[in-house]
Amino acid sequence: MFRNLVGAGLALLTAACVPIPAELPAASELSRPVDGSAAISEQDEVKDVSHDLVAHIDIRGVTTALDGDTLTVTFQLRDLPETLTFNRTGVPNHALEYNWEVSIDVDNDPVTGSAGFDYMLSAGYFVPPLAKDSDTVAEITQPGFVKASLWGLNRRGYRVPAEADIAIAVSAEENTIMLSGDIPGITEASRLKLRAYDFFAGSVEMSGHGPSITGLAASQCIPDQPIITPSQTVLDAAGDVPAAHVDVIEINSSLSEELLTVVFRLRDVPETLIFNRTRVPEHAMEYNWEVSIDVDNDRATGFEGFDYLLTAFHSVYPRAGGTNTTASITTWGMVQTHTWELDGWDAMTIEQGRLEVSAEENTITLSGNVPGITAKSRLAFGAFDFLGGAEEVGCFLPYSMGQPQVMQCTPYNAPVRAGNAVADDVSDVPAAHIDITAVDTFLSGETLTAVFHLRDVPEALTFDRAGVPDDELEYSWKVFVDADNDPETGFGGIDYTLSAVHKVSALSGGSGTTAPIAAGRNVEVSTRKLTPREGFAFFEDARIEVSAEDNTLTLSGEIPGITTVSPLAFEAYDYSGGTEKVGCLSLVPVVIHEGVMCDSDNAMIAPGQTVLDSITDMLPSYMDITRVSTVLDGETLAVVFHLRDLPETLEFNREGVRADMLEYGWSVSIDVDNDRETGDFRGEDYAMSAGRFAHPSSSDAGVHLPVEEAVQANSWQMDGTGSAYLSEISLEVSSEENTITLVGDIPGITSQSRLVFEAYDFLNGSEQVTCQVSVVLR
């Protein structure tokens, strides 16, 4: 049974982080994180160095100063170019593309505001709908691009604009971005959290607990990168795994002789969990919190370098499946806590460990004796929920035991279809022969051909290297195929694999044989069928071609049922050189229904009119507009969205919605003078909206709320430089009548103004009503 335990524990999803030393380095050293117990106060300077980040978000230092209520923050970046590319291809509408921000906990109280923070001072840029994929090169402070704002944060975690004059200064010469503004109630004791963000590159965070870096792949865990050792503190980003009880925020560890104590601080630890849930198979691990220990810091020993496990886990026993038992984690018999010794594929428990759980402090603490552990031993951490996701913190570089971990698609990364090509960044994995730069695919009938373009394909590789255990996978290049484009079939949506693999045998282990890659000689090339509860089954031999001159490795094989809409994903693996994964499966459909764009020959929608719209079953009912009614009284505009069906509650903070993204929105844009040359780039002068942004500090994951409680209703003024908060507006929501009503004052609006309506859902696209023939005049 424990073979499955080890496999599940070591095959957790990837996260990356930077350890915080127990003692601060000398002032002459490059990196000086903040002491783990202190908050950043004004007039402090914080430094962090990372060579794996995009330079314009790689924070080298932050200087803050306070003068009365005026906070000034200067981000010192590794490099700040004269221009950035905005509206980059692949960044969706309404998405935050760049941001440099400071969150302020004015009263140093974690109960108030959003996760304790009351205000956010930021310089950011959201992609407007009509600018998507335009790849516009501009200076950061050029009008219409990065905008400085002050936001008030409320308990739900989304943003309400606060009225303030914010100054921004950008210096490409000094590589700095400076923000300054009045923060009501701020003092020298206020707590700050600082973040720099790029949609594609991830983010850097600094807070009272020190720096945290997110968005790096497991392949970044290479020899010259820092490792986590006992007595260090390591941070991870919140909200990067669905289930709050396995979403690691911070890990503290301490060592007393050979007694290791590890404290997992999680996004939320409830008083009880549901054990033996429906959909979790018998014998499967349901929950797990674990520490992997490489006592000698030698990858050649133990299980892929790890010698011991300290773990608290629950597996579903026979006849217990589906009982849905509610109990606390510490209930006797629910969670087993042990120290295990690892040796190759075998594991043996050596003693019982100790478990402490605090729902009040959101911590799970494991402690146990680990023979031979020292202050230089390497640690890695994992948290797992069979139905709620998994998180890995630290440098693992393991290979999954038979269950391919393929990333699921979201609206911001579409799948690769059979017959199409995909590109990938160069040098994002150490070993050149698995560093995918592009993959071309071709389909002829049911024969799939995949050409891996690699950074370098040598004339020969060394097989059966010393340090790779017997029966261990040493190299692989794989294609995962969802033949029927159905995530519910196959094995996690995967129906077949097309692969070339090499495993070390007991007879050849350690021989270090150098030879060209060749089928039948040192790699097995095959197509395999994947079946739930049965795993991989050999289907037939496949074909391989290798070109050191072109740096390509080509796989070709028969895939029953494959078509041009079948999603593909790709993986290249080297036991000692990392893992590269490209592509995703199980696309969430995104549909955009746009109305007819108005011109001089078409009747626009004007205040006082009602417009009818067709019903579609391609959109969720709460964003399917069937009718929009408008009433104008002086300069007060009332807009009623009639929807196909509006439930009493919607789910907010859903899995797949990234932080800083608009999750839901119902809006009307107003061109008051009916002149497309004024206002913003679409000619619109004002907007009224009811919307919800997913904020990084939000802790209410997957919460069902009435729309009127979860969204903010505001009006905005639009011009060539972007949008500015105008005021709060009135919001009424009726699930009985299936309506959302917005009422607000729009300066200069008349019965001749032009209106555009939109309903938006991050996971399902948008519907726009711009100009229809079915306009009913009042």
**pLDDT given at position 681:** 63
Answer with the one of 563, 583, 603 that is the final residue of a domain: 583
pTM (global) more than 0.75? no
Is 439:570 a contact under the CB 8 Å cutoff?
A: yes
Residues 250 and 176 in one domain: no
Mean local confidence (pLDDT), 231-244: 64
Residues 559 and 595 in one domain: no
Phi-psi map region of 568: left, alpha, beta (phi>0 left; psi -120 to 50 alpha): beta
Residue type (1 letter), 543: R
**pLDDT given at position 214:** 28
Of 15-24, 140-149, 447-456, 489-498, minimum mean pLDDT range: 15-24
**pLDDT given at position 234:** 64
Asked if residue 697 has pLDDT above 60, the reply is no
Mean local confidence (pLDDT), 224-237: 57
Of 28-42, 481-495, 500-514, 730-744, minimum mean pLDDT range: 28-42
Asked if residue 709 has pLDDT above 50, the reply is yes
Mean local confidence (pLDDT), 375-390: 82
Residues 288 and 248 in one domain: yes
Structure-block tokens of residue 686: 């004002």
Q: What is the DSSP letter of 772?
A: -
Strand partners, 718: 723
Q: Which of the pair, 601 or 97, is modelled with greater confidence?
A: 97
**pLDDT given at position 429:** 61
Residues 265 and 237 in one domain: yes
Strand intervals (E) in 295-335: 308-315, 325-327
Asked if residue 211 has pLDDT above 90, the reply is no
**pLDDT given at position 636:** 94
Residue 310, domain member (yes or no): yes
Residue type (1 letter), 315: S
Whole-angstrom CA distances from 163 to 9, 148, 183 are: 49, 12, 10
Longest dimension (CA), the chain: 88
Asked if residue 704 has pLDDT above 60, the reply is yes
Burial of 14 (0-12, 13-18, 19+ CB in 10 A): buried
Within 10 angstroms of residue 549's Cβ, the number of other Cβ atoms is 7
Is 557:526 a contact under the CB 8 Å cutoff?
A: yes
**How much is the mean pLDDT over the chain?**
76
Asked if residue 460 has pLDDT above 70, the reply is yes
Asked if residue 467 has pLDDT above 50, the reply is yes
- 206 closest CA partner among 62, 350, 10: 62
- 402 closest CA partner among 337, 329, 492, 510: 492
Strand partners, 443: 448
Of 23-37, 410-424, 692-706, minimum mean pLDDT range: 23-37
Residue 687, CA atoms < 13 Å, CB-side half-sphere:
25
Residue type (1 letter), 541: D
**pLDDT given at position 216:** 29
Residues 543 and 610 in one domain: no
Residues 619 and 742 in one domain: yes
Answer with the one of 171, 186, 211 that is the final residue of a domain: 211
Q: Which of the pair, 299 or 687, is modelled with greater confidence?
A: 687
For 476-518, write each residue's pLDDT tens digit: 999 999 898 877 677 767 889 999 999 988 788 888 899 999 9
Residue 399, domain member (yes or no): no
Mean local confidence (pLDDT), 65-90: 89
**pLDDT given at position 695:** 61
Write the DSSP string, 10-24.
Answer: HTPPP----EE-SSP
**pLDDT given at position 617:** 54
Mean local confidence (pLDDT), 397-406: 38
Q: How confident is the model at residue 412 (pLDDT cuts 50, 70, 90)?
A: very low
Is 477:457 a contact under the CB 8 Å cutoff?
A: no
Residue 512, domain member (yes or no): yes
Asked if residue 670 has pLDDT above 80, the reply is yes
**pLDDT given at position 27:** 24
Q: Distance (Å, rounded) from C-alpha 674 to C-alpha 316?
A: 65
**pLDDT given at position 36:** 28
**pLDDT given at position 403:** 35
**pLDDT given at position 44:** 38
Residue 623, domain member (yes or no): yes
Is 284:315 a contact under the CB 8 Å cutoff?
A: yes
Q: How confident is the model at residue 732 (pLDDT cuts 50, 70, 90)?
A: very high
The structural domain count of the chain equals: 4
For 524-539, write each residue's pLDDT tens digit: 999 998 776 455 566 7
Mean local confidence (pLDDT), 688-714: 77
Q: What is the dihedral of CA 171, 177, 178, 183, to 10 degrees?
A: 160
Q: How confident is the model at residue 554 (pLDDT cuts 50, 70, 90)?
A: very high
Residues 191 and 339 in one domain: no
Q: How confident is the model at residue 602 (pLDDT cuts 50, 70, 90)?
A: low
H runs (alpha helix) in 504-634:
none
Residues 227 and 285 in one domain: yes
Within 10 angstroms of residue 420's Cβ, the number of other Cβ atoms is 15
Q: What is the DSSP letter of 26?
A: P
Structure-block tokens of residue 289: 């919190």
Is 425:436 a contact under the CB 8 Å cutoff?
A: no
Residues 181 and 247 in one domain: no
Burial of 222 (0-12, 13-18, 19+ CB in 10 A): middle
Residue 21, domain member (yes or no): no
- 58 closest CA partner among 187, 171, 261, 214: 214
Q: Distance (Å, rounded) from C-alpha 656 to C-alpha 211?
A: 25
Highest average pLDDT, of 158-167, 296-305, 349-358, 382-391, comes from 349-358
Domain that includes residue 464, residue range: 416-583
Answer with the one of 179, 211, 243 that is the final residue of a domain: 211
Q: Distance (Å, rounded) from C-alpha 699 to C-alpha 90?
A: 28
Q: Which of the pair, 266 or 419, is modelled with greater confidence?
A: 266
Q: How confident is the model at residue 289 (pLDDT cuts 50, 70, 90)?
A: very high
**pLDDT given at position 318:** 65
Structure-block tokens of residue 285: 């691990």
Asked if residue 38 has pLDDT above 50, the reply is no
Residues 506 and 636 in one domain: no
Highest average pLDDT, of 395-399, 418-422, 703-707, 742-746, comes from 742-746
Residue type (1 letter), 415: P
Residues 207 and 230 in one domain: no
Q: Distance (Å, rounded) from C-alpha 445 to C-alpha 297?
A: 50
Q: Which of the pair, 46 or 706, is modelled with greater confidence?
A: 706
Of 297-311, 437-451, 460-474, 713-727, minimum mean pLDDT range: 713-727
Strand order in the sheet with 662-671: 591-593, 765-769, 754-761, 662-671, 686-693, 712-719, 722-728
Residue 237, domain member (yes or no): yes
Residue 565, domain member (yes or no): yes
Residue 660, domain member (yes or no): yes
Residues 331 and 282 in one domain: yes
Q: What percent of the chain has pLDDT over 90?
A: 29
